Amino acid sequence: MDGTLPIVANLRKRGINILGGCKVCGLEEEETLMHAVRSCPKVEEVWRAAHYNLGGQQQSIEAWLQQQLEQQDRDLRGRFVALLWCIWKRRNKAVWEDKTQEASSVVNMADGMIVRWKEAQKATAGAAAGLQRGGQQNGTRTGAPRDKWEAPEEGIIKINVDGATNQAAGLRAWGWIARDHQGEFIKARGVSHRAEWTVEETEALGIRDALSGALAEGWNRVIIESDALSVVRGITRREGGSYLQLVLDDIFSIVESKSDFEVSFCKRSANHVAHTLAKAHVSSPDHVKEYVEVPDCIYSRLAHDTLI
């Protein structure tokens, strides 16, 4: 878990220059996930304001989360997850937008989210969040997908991303490939982990990884394409406390902070190169590989996209 979230320590490993440590409390040491959601002094203020007993320090973030979830009933577990989500959201605003938020506001936001979630469960139908303008919502686009891959406009880099699952081996993977306006290969990356993420979580993690890669490369105008429609639509939804929603919130924060970043839906037929790359990585556990030359596994499919 600690290795996949975009905390300062992990962003630095990816080559993204985030100065300082924790942007919430000003700690100059390297930010860890435990610090970001548990031991940061500003985060402890939130837990105290919410009247939560955090218990003693644990050796790992996983042990602490397990302890908290096991000792609470269903309603308290829901509130705990909502608070985690809002703490993480505040942290993202501090990192990407240089904005601060008081502990009481974080608690109120979490409690309000629980109320809205309960109201939503009673509704007979839902609608996608966000203001819709010709199929585009706050940096995401879901309308009129094409059947084949198309090169972006000059000056824009298009990154196609897809996830893959090996249920029998307990492996999850994703792959992304970046191309320019002429369809020329720029870079690709394949990642696999032994994990129990859902299909949607894996797809979302792939999108977030592609965005992190774009930031690391210093690309300013980027289109991310994914064939996971529910994930692309979910980026603009601002409710829920699941792990998926935490990842989607990270994606939203990055796209919102970069006016020329966009996440779009595409059909599987327009995403077969990324799909092939993801499938090639789903057989090897905990494997990360970056490509500066075209991988053999996608060479013919890449050529096919360029010719049609």
In the chain, where are the structural domains located?
Answer: 8-122, 136-307
- pLDDT at position 11 is 53
User: Comparing 242 with 218, which gets the higher pLDDT?
Assistant: 218
Q: Comparing 46-50, 103-107, 134-138, 173-177, which segment has the lowest mean pLDDT?
A: 134-138
pLDDT-derived band of residue 304, with 50, 70 and 90 as boundaries?
Answer: confident
- Over the stretch 20-42, which tens digit does the pLDDT of each residue have? 578 898 887 677 888 889 989 99
Confidence band for 109, pLDDT divided at 50, 70 and 90: confident
Question: In whole angstroms, what is the distance from residue 196 CA to residue 1 CA?
Answer: 11
| Architecture (CATH level 2) of domain 136-307 | 2-Layer Sandwich (3.30)
